[in-house]
Amino acid sequence: MFESAELGHSIDNKTFRKEVEALRVELLNVQFELREAGKFPVMLLISGVDGGGKSETINQLYEWLDPRFLSTLAFSEPTDEERDRPHMWRYWRSLPPKGRIGVFAGSWYSSPIADRIDGKLTADETDHEMARINRFEGMLANEGALVLKFWFHLSKKAQRARFEKLESDPRTAWRVTKESWSRLKTHDELIDVAGHVLRITNTPWAPWIVVDGSDDNYRNLRVGKALLEALKYRLANDTPQHYPVAPPIPPRIDGRDVLTALDLSKQIEKDTYERQLAKWQGRLSELVRHPKFRNRALVLAFEGSDAAGKGGAIRRVTAAIDARQFQIVPVAAPTDEERAQPYLWRFWRHVPRKGRITIFDRTWYGRVLVERVEGFCAEADWLRAYAEINDFEHALDVAGVIVVKFWLQIDADEQLRRFNEREATDFKRFKITEEDWRNRDKWDAYREAVCDMVDRTSTGQAPWTLVEANDKKHARIKVLKTVCQRLEKELGL
């Protein structure tokens, strides 16, 4: 992995200056094209051995590129807002939007590598983490991002020489700290761990570029040229290379599916409803105030046919919770800031802090429901979404966020009845649109999409609860009861 980086590459100043002259013009031109096109972001990960010239190269990039459209994302100790959420949240919130270049000084590799060296992660855990990173970067690549990962290598000898040189110059002496020298001591371990990490994350969609860090001219030029070539290629080849997605979904061969299996005639009487409602709302109110919940969080995901009663069910849930503890996120068309980011970004930004609750009225499943059925995204995009969604929910779960997902199902007759009722009721009239009527025509396509969604995303820690919703009372009680029982289980009560 690091052999070529120890050959002693170097470039003299004269050659460097000559090369840079042409390089800079080209870099400014492609950066301008990148910005004008606004079609994809560039993520530049600058990693490597301490003293390997990371900050020098980043600063060099600022000289070569238009610094106004360059951001450096630095990650030191997480803030309390970050610590209260899944560990990838801080990276999601920092992703550069389309058209911009984000330089990651430190990245999602930093903690796993450090933790492995310190023995906080086992070899197996490290590999699991790397598998997760591979999928994350695969998602970024599929969303169009150009991901370039650099590792600046130094042999132990070269690292020592570098520290000594920095220390000898009063202008740079401040950069060598006690930590630097202690890093020299763990140089061998770092090379071991990094070698392994780089090897298993050296994917076709986000390969590593290992660079000899000892010579400033060589290192900077290597990075500058690699960036230039990658950008030129990507700008000339409109569609990114998709990394393999799942094969298309095989058709069902009998008429049975999870929706036909539902008994939509289920209902409960008004009296029972009132009693049950009071019971489960009371219970929910206790559960979200339980001391054990302070270290967890809750995400409620509501999907369902139009007019299936999502809003009504949500109200019965929120009525039991103090308004300061939850937020409802109604999912509509993305804003332009959201469109400039990977699909899941607009959901990541609403991930609740510890002790808080986010309720999504329609969710990230839009991709495999409406976007699939209406053809708003390519087949490859919704096919890969299942795995990306499972990864997202897994990340929530690992961080202690409890994910509860509901699909509210009504039949076509009941839907028609409700549409007509809504049109006739003054304050409900805004709930029904042209689009709702059009969607009815695609009843079977939606049904198919829902069944596939349940098959592919009803996972152990984030199972779907299918709710028979022809009777609103039954549906509301089932939702409340499910939330409560799940909370009890998760909190061990």
> How many other CB atoms are found less than 10 A from the CB of residue 214?
25
Residue (70 or 145) nearer to a second copy, CB: 70
CB of 89 to a second copy, least distance (A): 13
Q: Could you give the angle at the alpha carbon of 144 between the alpha carbons of 142 and 145, nearest 5°?
A: 105
Q: How far is the CB of 217 from a second copy (least distance, A)?
A: 17
Q: Closer to a second copy at the Cβ: 226 or 329?
A: 329
Dihedral sign of CA atoms 173, 179, 182, 187 in order = negative
Q: Is 323 among the residues that bind a second copy (CB under 8 A)?
A: yes
Q: How far apart are CA 331 and CA 316, in angstroms?
A: 19
| Closest residue by Cα to residue 43 from 88, 105, 86, 87 | 105
Q: How far apart are CA 238 and CA 244, in angstroms?
A: 18
Give whichever of 339 and 417 is closer to a second copy, judged by the CB atom: 339
Q: Does 17 bind a second copy (CB under 8 A)?
A: no
- Residue 25, interface with a second copy (CB under 8 A)? yes
* Span from 6-14, 65-73, 253-261, 474-482 in contact with a second copy (CB under 8 A): 65-73
Helix, strand, coil percent content, the chain, rounded in steps of 5: 55, 15, 30
Q: Which stretch binds a second copy (CB under 8 A): 20-28, 124-132, 239-247, 293-301?
A: 20-28
Task: Give the residue, chosen from 188, 336, 434, 444, that forms a contact with a second copy under the rule CB under 8 A.
Answer: 336
User: Rounded CA gap, 268 and 442, in Å?
Assistant: 30
Q: How far apart are CA 141 and CA 134, in angstroms?
A: 10
Cβ 423 to a second copy shortest distance, Å: 15
Residue from 4, 59, 168, 272 touching a second copy (CB under 8 A): that is 59
> Of the listed pieces 60-68, 210-218, 375-383, 441-449, which binds a second copy according to CB under 8 A?
60-68
The encoded tokens of residue 192 equal: 């071991």
Q: How far is the CB of 245 from a second copy (least distance, A)?
A: 31
Q: In this structure, are residues 61 and 93 in contact, taking their beta carbons and an 8 Å threshold?
A: no
Q: Based on CB atoms, which residue is closest to a second copy, 72 or 126?
A: 72
Residues 6+ apart with CB under 8 A from 245: 142, 380, 383, 384, 387
Per the CB < 8 A criterion, the answer to whether 267 and 302 are in contact is no
The one-letter code for the residue type at 283 is R
Site string for a second copy, 215-234 (x = CB under 8 A): --------------------
**Nearer residue to a second copy within complex by CB, 361 or 393:** 361
Binding-site member from 125, 164, 337, 413 for a second copy (CB under 8 A): 337
Residue from 327, 378, 421, 493 touching a second copy (CB under 8 A): that is 327
Q: Does 58 bind a second copy (CB under 8 A)?
A: yes
Among the listed residues 269, 426, 434, 444, the single contact to a second copy using CB under 8 A: 426
Instruction: Name the 3-class secondary structure at 40.
Output: coil
Segment holding 234, helix H or strand E = helix 216-236
Neighbours of 89 (CB within 10 A): 21
Considering only 12, 81, 164, 238, the residue that binds a second copy (CB under 8 A) is 81
- Residue 208 CA, chain-centre distance (Å), reads 21
- Using CB under 8 A as the binding rule, whether residue 239 contacts a second copy is answered as no
Torsion region of 246: left, alpha or beta (phi above 0 gives left; psi -120 to 50 gives alpha):
beta
Q: Write down the least CB distance from residue 8 to a second copy, Å.
A: 28
**From candidates 147, 245, 314, 467, binder to a second copy by CB under 8 A:** 314
Does residue 80 bind a second copy (CB under 8 A)?
Answer: yes
- Residues 6+ positions from 42 with CB-CB distance below 8 Å: 34, 96, 100, 101, 102, 145, 146, 148, 227, 231
Taking contact as CB under 8 A, which single stretch among the options 24-32, 144-152, 247-255, 446-454 is the one that binds a second copy?
24-32
- Nearer of residues 85 and 372 to a second copy, judged by Cβ: 85
Contact 23, 93 (CB under 8 A): no
Cβ 59 to a second copy shortest distance, Å: 6
Name which position in 70, 184, 221, 284 contacts a second copy (CB under 8 A).
Answer: 70
Between CA 83 and CA 291 the distance in angstroms is 19
Here the tokens at position 127 are: 């590999």
* In the complex, least distance from residue 144 CB atom to a second copy, rounded to whole angstroms: 19
Instruction: Please select the residue that binds a second copy; options are 430, 444, 460, 492, rule is CB under 8 A.
Output: 430
- Distance between CA atoms of residues 112 and 128, nearest Å: 10
Cβ contact 318:287 at 8 Å: no
Tokens of 108: 């999602």
Instruction: Rule CB under 8 A: choose which of 247, 270, 335, 492 binds a second copy.
Output: 335
When asked if residue 169 is in the footprint of a second copy (CB under 8 A), the reply is: no
Q: At closest approach, how far in Å is the CB of 61 from a second copy?
A: 8
Smallest CA-to-CA distance from 145 within 241, 69, 68 is with: 241
Closest CB 324 distance from a second copy, rounded Å:
4
Contacts with a second copy by CB under 8 A lie at: 24-25, 28-29, 32, 36, 55, 58-59, 61-63, 66-72, 74, 79-81, 103, 105, 171, 174, 282, 285, 289, 311, 314-315, 318-319, 322-328, 330, 335-337, 361, 426-427, 430
